[in-house]
């Protein structure tokens, strides 16, 4: 049975831990507002940009004159997986869920006889992917020194991916990130960015009413690389909001658990203290009776 001193020290230790988790929860809550606003503000632009590209792509079809970013290389043998996670932990299952989705996707591709290459963005994803899929790991993008994610960071990642595609290093590229829903819900998502794929919308049918100058192929050749950067930037913003939401939720749970542990330890401490006092009273009474 622990001594009174041990119990008291443990209670103080848990109280200090609770102060830290509470502070981290408040910091995450402050950061979440900015990150959520950035992610939500970026969604309309990304959705409209993809709708315009989708309309252009529908008018071009699968012609040989279409840009390679749209029609692809004609093969799907080599796949590039860009796994985006956080630079830090203490955010519940946020990082592990993204890595789990990427690993499952990679395992399915390998089982189908495909070649898999992996690029990571975020230290936590790098550690997980290198540990389990080190043979397929080729590069890490370090954003640990970046205080606030900007479009330039997405452009740098996109340039690296596009240069590898132009060099013929892969046929299909897919990004993995967590889409922000709310504080308690972040959905791990896989999105193909090369060759470009677009969801059909009701407005696509009206695209035939427009004439483009220059032609659709020339416009797509200029916009598709921007589209890749836009999709990566949108994923980074979604990840930033998801990370802070997951951290806020995790630290709130940790704070509550610390409070429960303090209550249990305090009850145990009071019982032990009462037992000591009772034993001392018994000894005093027994000594008095002996006299």
pLDDT at 101 (0 to 100): 94
Distance of CA 252 to the CA centre of its chain: 19
- Say if residues 175 and 191 touch (Cβ distance below 8 Å): yes
- Half-sphere exposure in the Cβ direction for 211 (13 Å, CA): 1
Tell whether pTM > 0.75: yes
**Which of 43-48's residues contact partners 24+ apart within 8 Å by CB, and which partners?**
43/234, 45/230, 46/230, 46/231, 46/233, 46/234
Residues 70 and 204 in one domain: yes
One domain for residues 242 and 267: no
H/E stretch holding 230:
helix 216-290
- CATH value at residue 15: 1.10.287.80
| pLDDT per residue as tens digits for the range 105-116 | 999 999 999 999
The number of residues making up the chain comes to 291
Mean pLDDT of all residues in 86-93: 87
pLDDT of 75 > 90? The answer is no
Above 90 in pLDDT, residue 146?
no
Residues 51 and 161 placed together within one structural domain of the fold? yes
Averaged pLDDT, 98-127: 91
Instruction: Clarify whether 91 is annotated catalytic.
Output: yes
Identify the domain containing residue 54 by its residue range. Answer: 36-248
Q: What is the pLDDT of residues 22-50, one digit of tens each?
A: 999 999 999 998 899 888 888 888 888 88
Same domain? For 139 and 200 the reply is yes
pLDDT of the residue at 116: 92
Q: Assess if residue 30 is contained within a domain.
A: no
Tell me what pLDDT residue 195 has: 85
CATH number at residue 42: 3.40.1380.10
Catalytic residue among 91, 118, 236, 246: 91
Task: Read off the pLDDT band of 283 (50, 70, 90).
Answer: confident
At residue 217, the pLDDT reads 75
CA angle, corner 107, sides to 106 and 113, nearest 5?
Answer: 90
Closest CA to 31 of 207, 186, 237: 237
How high is the pLDDT of residue 206?
Answer: 45
Examine the domain organization and report whether 88 and 142 are in the same domain.
Answer: yes
My answer on whether 256 and 212 are in the same domain is no
Q: Decide if 26 is inside a domain.
A: no
Q: Are residues 208 and 265 in the same domain?
A: no
């Amino acid at each position: 049975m622990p001594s009174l001193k041990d119990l008291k020290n443990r209670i103080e230790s848990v109280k200090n831990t609770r102060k830290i988790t509470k502070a981290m929860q408040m910091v995450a809550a402050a950061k979440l507002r900015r990150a959520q606003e950035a992610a939500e503000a970026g969604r309309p632009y990304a959705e409209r940009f993809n709708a315009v590209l989708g309309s252009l792509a529908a008018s071009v079809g699968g012609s040989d004159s279409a840009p390679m970013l749209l029609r692809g290389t004609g093969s799907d043998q080599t796949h590039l997986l860009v796994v985006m996670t956080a630079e830090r932990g203490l955010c519940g299952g946020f990082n592990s869920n993204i890595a789990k989705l990427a690993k499952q996707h990679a395992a399915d591709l390998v089982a189908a006889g495909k070649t898999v290459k992996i690029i990571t963005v975020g230290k936590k994803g790098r550690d997980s992917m290198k540990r389990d899929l080190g043979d397929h790991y080729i590069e890490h993008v370090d954003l640990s020194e970046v205080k606030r994610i900007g479009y330039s960071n997405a452009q740098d990642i996109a340039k690296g991916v596009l240069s590898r595609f132009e060099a013929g290093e892969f046929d299909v590229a897919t990004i993995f990130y967590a889409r922000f829903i709310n504080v308690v819900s972040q959905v791990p998502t896989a999105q193909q960015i090369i060759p470009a794929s677009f969801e059909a919308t009701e407005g696509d049918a009206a695209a035939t009413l427009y004439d483009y100058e220059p032609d659709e192929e020339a416009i797509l050749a200029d916009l598709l690389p921007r589209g890749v950067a836009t999709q990566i930037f949108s994923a980074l913003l979604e990840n930033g909001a998801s990370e802070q939401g997951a951290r806020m939720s995790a630290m709130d749970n940790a704070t509550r658990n610390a409070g429960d542990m303090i209550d249990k330890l305090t009850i145990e401490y009071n019982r032990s203290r009462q037992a000591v006092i009772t034993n001392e009273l018994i000894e005093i009474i027994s000594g008095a009776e002996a006299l």
